[in-house]
Chains A and B, each alone.
Chain A
Amino acid sequence: MKYFLLLFFPFILFAQTPLEKGLEIVQKVRLLNKGYGSEKSSMKMILIDAYGVKTEREMEGKVFEVKNDGDKSISLFLNPLDVKGVKMITWSHKEDDDDQWLYLPSLKRVKRISSSGQSASFMGSEFSFEDLGSQELEKFVHKWLRDEKILGEDIWVIERTPKRKSSYSKEIIFMSQNKMNPLKIEYYDRKEQLLKIAEFFDYKLFKINGKDVWKANKIVMKNIQTKKESQFIWNTRDFNVKFSESEFDSTSLL
């Protein structure tokens, strides 16, 4: 019977399961987006409460790409002024918990922080540290759900479930097949209720190391449950900036 089936339906041998296809897609996406070397950027965040009142936050970031592991990054907070000068270093890892340090300039103290606080709100916004931090493939299980079109763009819809402790039970990613980057992510809380939706706008095409790479320059995160909204906007973005890896050491913060 088995041989009979293979004879008439040979594609069974090559058919991928949704998990295999999901993994294949995100691996393709990673391959295209990797290899940028380093990035320096300045960003602002607009926090909008349920009544429409806006508050702005500003920061700068540096990212250093590490071969065979997660990236190293430094975030420098510029506004509000009471946290101006605070720096956060993150060494993301493919499988282990990320290493994180916080530099408090008022005390000249480098404080090791546990990465368990990933679900905490980032500067009072609707983004959590988890949303903005490392998105290493190895930390999730990816499952392809379907293909669809959004505004004429071909989309892969992928379900991503965290392998480690997370504030989300799952995320549904709407991945553009053209831009090889997400257009939308739906975040579901631990009770499987839709919590937040992130939409990615202002995609720009960058030429990085001979590759064409799309990067979103605005992310709008809407909290469905609280009706609050936060926008993350890149003002400047430079790739392949010359950094020394030692700049990303916790000991260099002082």
Chain B
Amino acid sequence: MLNLAKANSILLLCYSIFSTSFAHSESWSQRGEVILESRRFKDDHVEISNDYALSFFSRVDSSYQGDNVKASLRGYARVDQTNTSRNIISFEDTFISYAFGEEKKFNLFSGWQIFNWTATEAFHPADVVNSRNFDSDLENLEKIGEFSAGMQTKFKGGELTFYFFPHYERPRLPGSENRLGLGINIERPVWVDGHGNDGNRWGAQYGAHYSKNLGDGDLALFLLSHMDRTYPLIGTDRISYVSTLVAPSGVVPLEVAFRPYYFKTADFGFTYQHVLGSLIIKGESVFKDYLEHKPIYTLRGLRTPDDHGELALGLEYDITTDGGSNLQFFLEAQSLFAATKIQRSEMNAFQRDGMMGLRYALNDVMGTEFFISLIADLERPHEYLGNFVFMRRLSDFWKVKGGFRYFDAPKKETIATGLENLNQDHYAFFNLMRYF
């Protein structure tokens, strides 16, 4: 309870300061939500794991839009009743920007921001900037604000943005008690940026993003030199080289602590969406060229990060009924390239997967909505993730969201890989939301 008070106090203090500064303005907008979140997993008969979670989530969102100045404060805090490792406080959007001139063709910004460079619903290879909280939906992980400074300008009919990210934001990996984790406690991260001091969380990361509307299509291109947080190697670099008579790999670890190693990479990619009547065609891709290749001793042996490409393609088809409700069908697939089947499976739970989904929005006064999806591995047999969500407003202030998630991916070898880590971690969830 102390943590709950602390986390929310910090958030509310920032909110109060921000509100006091701009509250007199007509251009001031604020919104907030508190959510009572509960989830119940299928019993795994493991004493230390938490099959039940009850947490309190709060988010504040305030923004000011002046003639040339834009400022935002948005962040959230979650406090879990039983599992303190689930507690999190995160600034999502806390930045200030200034646009020059009447046409606002050039602006400077600085602060924490959430970036969303994806077009697809389930697979997001081009959405590479923010660190994630892995204690959330695997196909749509919660994002953690990324501290950045930069400039944006109009260029050739589009928006060109240059970014500088001075801080390595740490992803949140679930603890050993958490059913969505790997079942082990992960130690502090190691940042392999080539500068020797792997514990340093500060360093130069930079990139550019260009987006443009092309009639019925929207194109975005990006390149980034940054710390890749999508594919950490979990293990240790404290290793000793020995005779292959002692260990077949010729390497033995000198410690048993598991640390996530994040490597510096150069990412190049694109996102594209194209409307064809009722159909939307989506595509996004990234190529990752790792700039560091330090060997890490993992549970599967000695590994280095592998340069590879990723491509996700998707279709979305809309149907509107005579009653005014909407049906949206989704069909998506993702593949990792330039790596072997084993490497792919070790890198990503969705290394060659497909998704089918259906959203049914009644478009009624209460905003009733259903979403059902199934992700299936197209390369490895018997790996499925099912998802069902129901949402409905109770009033202008209250809303409920409930559903069920189903993981069916039995382990095929000694060590679980990808989605196998979540096999049989089915859970039902129910959230009660209050907006203010």
Give residues in A with beta carbon < 8 Å to B. Answer: 47, 49, 55-56, 79-85, 97, 99, 105, 107-110, 112-121, 123-124, 128, 167, 189-190, 244, 246-247, 249-252
Residue in B61, B102, B273, B318 whose CB lies within 8 Å of A85: B61
Query: In the bound complex, do residue B399 and residue A124 qualify as a contact, i.e. CB atoms below 8 Å apart?
Result: no
Does B213 count as interface, using CB distance less than 8 angstroms? Answer: yes
Return the chain B residue nearest A85 by Cβ: B31
Report whether B275 and A114 are in contact in the complex, using a CB–CB cutoff of 8 Å: yes
The interface residues of chain B lying within 8 Å CB-to-CB of A128 are 324
**Is B200 on the interface with A (CB-CB < 8 A)?**
no
List 29 contacting pairs A-B, 8 Å CB cutoff, sorted by A.
A80-B367, A80-B393, A80-B397, A80-B435, A81-B31, A81-B396, A82-B33, A82-B393, A82-B433, A108-B114, A108-B115, A112-B275, A114-B275, A114-B316, A117-B278, A117-B320, A117-B326, A119-B320, A120-B361, A121-B363, A167-B320, A190-B322, A246-B154, A249-B159, A249-B213, A251-B158, A251-B159, A251-B212, A252-B159
Is A246 a contact partner of B104 (Cβ separation < 8 A)? yes
Asked if B93 and A81 sit within 8 Å, CB to CB, the answer is no
Q: Mark B410-436, 1 if CB is under 8 A from A, else 0.
A: 000000000000000000000001011
A79 to B116, CA, bound (A): 24
Question: Are A114 and B103 in contact (CB-based, < 8 A)?
Answer: no
| Residue from B218, B318, B365, B436 with most neighbouring chain A CB atoms (10 Å) | B365
For the complex, count residues of B whose C-beta is within 8 A of A.
50
CB atoms of B318 and A99 under 8 A apart: no
Residue pair B277, A49 in contact (C-beta under 8 Å): no
What are the 9 closest A-B residue pairs judged by CB atoms, nearest first?
A121-B324, A81-B435, A116-B278, A121-B363, A124-B365, A251-B159, A109-B116, A80-B396, A112-B273
Beta-carbon contact of B279 and A124 below 8 Å: no
- Complex Cα spacing A3 to B273, Å: 61
* CB-defined contacts of A110 to chain B, threshold 8 Å: 116
Query: For window 100-157 of chain B, which residues contact chain A by CB distance below 8 Å?
Result: 102-105, 114-116, 118-119, 154
A55 surroundings in chain B (CB, below 8 A):
365, 396
Question: Binary interface profile of B, 342-370, with partner A (CB < 8 Å = 1, else 0)?
Answer: 00000000000000000001011111000
Assembly CA distance A97 to B277 (angstroms): 8
Query: Do the beta carbons of A108 and B93 come within 8 Å of each other?
Result: yes
Q: Given the complex, which residues of B lie within 8 Å of A107, measured CB to CB?
A: 116
CA distance A113 to B115 in the complex (A): 20
User: Which residues from chain B contact A115 at a C-beta distance below 8 Å?
Assistant: 275
B157, closest chain A residue (CB): A249
Cβ of B277 and Cβ of A116 under 8 Å apart? yes
How far, in Å, is A225 (CB) from chain B's closest CB? 10
Tell me which residues across on chain A come within 8 A of B119, comparing CB atoms. Answer: 112
Judge whether B325 is part of the interface by a CB distance below 8 angstroms: yes
CB of A183, distance to nearest CB on chain B (Å): 25
Q: How far is the CB of A126 from chain B (nearest CB, A)?
A: 9
Q: Does B47 contact A (CB under 8 A)?
A: no
